[in-house]
Amino acid sequence: MAAYPKANRPRRVTITALGVFLLGVWNGWRAVTLAQQNELLLGLALRPDPRVRLALALMWAVFFCTLAIGIVRRQRWTRPAGLVSILLYALYNLILLVGFVQSAVVRQAWPAWLLLYVAALLFVAWSFYGPGSGTYWQKPTRPGASVD
């Protein structure tokens, strides 16, 4: 039997935490594949430099996994950080898509990607700031503890 009551986490916050964690795993896998193919990619003289993409993939992986843990642990900094990170990640990927992809067919898909990122941003905003989610972000107190 648990000494503390179970956290009443809204389902949409759980879905957001899972999605953020999966973004971290995705970027971690991207970093692994970029590291494995580093010599080949350097020989092709791609832009941006594959080492820069590797470093950014590692950064995004660590950041999104840390953010997911923070969401589950009710860290208040995750609310604004979640929105800002989705916005920055969208800008990063759209810049890569529009600025560096050679295929015209792939570049024409940017409106669909933009729509997807706007939908994700709206979902995260609703998840963190929507009705019924405000009480989740308040830290529970131990039974019998005084509140200052």
Residue-level pLDDT at 98: 79
Whether the CB-CB separation of 94 and 109 falls below 8 Å is answered with no
pLDDT number for residue 110: 84
Answer yes or no: are the C-beta atoms of 98 and 107 closer than 8 Å. yes
**Distance (Å) of CA 140 to CA 8, 10, 66, 116, 136:** 10, 15, 21, 35, 9
pLDDT at 148: 45
Tens of pLDDT along the chain (148 residues)? 445 555 588 899 999 999 999 999 999 999 999 888 777 766 776 677 788 888 999 999 999 999 999 999 999 899 999 999 999 999 998 888 877 777 777 778 888 989 999 999 999 999 999 888 878 887 766 665 544 4
CA-wise closest residue to 15 among 139, 142, 131, 126:
126
pLDDT on residue 122: 96
Which amino acid makes up residue 66?
Answer: T
Q: Give the HSE-up count for residue 85: Cα atoms under 13 Å, Cβ half-sphere.
A: 23
